């Protein structure tokens, strides 16, 4: 893969074989960011579990104390009082069958998170093949299938993120923007890290956090000591 001048300059500031403390890695990621936009900082955890087994799944959601720096657009599937509560909480879109048709017929995806009351899941099920591959299907473990839609909307807009394993047993999550600086990114990182530790499956054996890498959108990966991930 061909790399740009900024990337080549940035990578010189990172010792490829060194395991950094998380705070140091975050500081470096911010320092070497040279893009003309506010880069997102992401963390990648490789876990010592096997996602092919149901009892070794790791999935959940957590509200980052400093948010993600991204404006989150919510779509709520609800009716009656629940729909009104979602509107009052500031949801961008609220509806039911009308939005199912809009997504199916117009390939409309002008939203980032779907929240639904439990009674609406039968309706949303028609969209499984469209929402599933995009990771947009509501899920109780992520708190996006709930009767308290107002709280779910508020949390989504405040910086709630979902974490889950991919097929390679890695969790990829944004933890903020370069403009946040080290301290705010550290708070977000620590919150996510603790949530993932707490979500450790009982069936997981041996080392749970195999590796941890921090990187900005355009920057190189910075390896973090998985045994001392929080400062």
Name the residue among 137, 203, 134, 212 with its Cα closest to residue 171: 212
What is the rounded distance in angstroms from the CA atom of residue 64 to the CA atom of residue 127? 29
Which tokens belong to 95? 């509806």
What is the rounded distance in angstroms from the CA atom of residue 162 to the CA atom of residue 156? 10
Length of the chain (residues): 231
Looking at the structure, tell me whether residues 151 and 78 fall in a common domain. Answer: yes
Which tokens belong to 113? 């998170």
pLDDT at 17 (0 to 100)? 87
pLDDT at 210 (0 to 100)? 95
Name the residue among 193, 156, 178, 200 with its Cα closest to residue 63: 156
pLDDT at 231 (0 to 100)? 46
Give the DSSP per-residue string, 183-228.
HHHHHHHHHHHHHHHHT--TT--S-SEEEEEEEETTSPPEEE-GGG
Which tokens belong to 57? 């799944």
pLDDT at 228 (0 to 100)? 61
Predicted TM-score of the model (pTM)? 0.82
Looking at the structure, tell me whether residues 149 and 200 fall in a common domain. Answer: no
Which tokens belong to 34? 């040279």
pLDDT, one tens digit per residue, over 30-39 is 999 988 999 9
Q: Which residues contact 144 (CB under 8 A, 6 or more apart)?
A: 61, 113, 114, 115, 116, 138, 152, 156, 162
Q: Which DSSP category does 90 fall into?
A: T
- β 59-63/74-77 pair status: unpaired
How many domains in the chain? Answer: 2
Residue 98's Cβ-count burial label (10 Å; 0-12, 13-18, 19+) is exposed
Given a contact cutoff of 8 angstroms between Cβ atoms, the answer to whether 74 and 153 are in contact is yes
Q: Measured in whole angstroms, how far is the alpha carbon of residue 205 from the centre of its chain?
A: 25
Domain boundary (96, 126, 158) is at 158
CATH of the domain at 36: 3.30.190.20
Looking at the structure, tell me whether residues 55 and 166 fall in a common domain. Answer: yes
Q: Does residue 122 sit in helix, strand or coil?
A: helix
Q: For the chain, which ranges sit under pLDDT 70?
A: 1-11, 13, 228-231
Looking at the structure, tell me whether residues 126 and 50 fall in a common domain. Answer: no
Q: Measured in whole angstroms, how far is the alpha carbon of residue 41 from the centre of its chain?
A: 11
pLDDT at 16 (0 to 100)? 84
pLDDT at 85 (0 to 100)? 97
Looking at the structure, tell me whether residues 141 and 78 fall in a common domain. Answer: yes
pLDDT at 10 (0 to 100)? 59
Looking at the structure, tell me whether residues 85 and 61 fall in a common domain. Answer: no
Name the residue among 173, 112, 171, 121 with its Cα closest to residue 147: 121
Q: Domain range for residue 137?
A: 74-158
Q: Does residue 115 sit in helix, strand or coil?
A: strand
Looking at the structure, tell me whether residues 164 and 56 fall in a common domain. Answer: yes
pLDDT at 75 (0 to 100)? 98
């Amino acid at each position: 893969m061909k790399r740009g001048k900024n990337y080549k300059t940035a990578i010189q500031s990172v010792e490829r074989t060194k395991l950094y403390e998380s705070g140091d890695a975050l500081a470096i990621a911010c320092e070497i960011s040279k893009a003309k936009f506010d880069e997102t900082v992401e963390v990648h955890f490789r876990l010592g579990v096997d996602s092919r087994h149901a009892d070794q799944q790791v999935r959940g959601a957590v509200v980052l104390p400093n948010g993600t720096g991204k404006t989150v657009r919510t779509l709520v599937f609800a009716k009656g009082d629940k729909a009104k509560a979602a509107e009052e909480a500031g949801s961008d879109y609220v509806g039911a069958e009308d939005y199912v048709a809009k997504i199916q017929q117009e390939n409309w995806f002008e939203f980032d998170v779907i929240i639904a009351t439990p009674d609406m899941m039968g309706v949303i099920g028609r969209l499984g093949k469209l929402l599933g591959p995009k990771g947009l299907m509501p899920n109780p473990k992520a708190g996006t299938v709930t009767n308290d839609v107002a709280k779910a909307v508020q949390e989504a807009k405040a910086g709630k993120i979902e974490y889950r394993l991919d097929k390679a047993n890695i969790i990829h999550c944004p933890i903020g923007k370069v403009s946040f600086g080290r301290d705010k990114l550290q708070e977000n990182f620590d919150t996510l890290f603790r949530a993932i530790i707490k979500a450790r499956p009982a069936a997981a054996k041996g080392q749970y956090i195999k590796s941890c890498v921090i990187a900005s959108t355009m920057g190189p990966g910075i390896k973090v000591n998985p045994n001392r991930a929080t400062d």
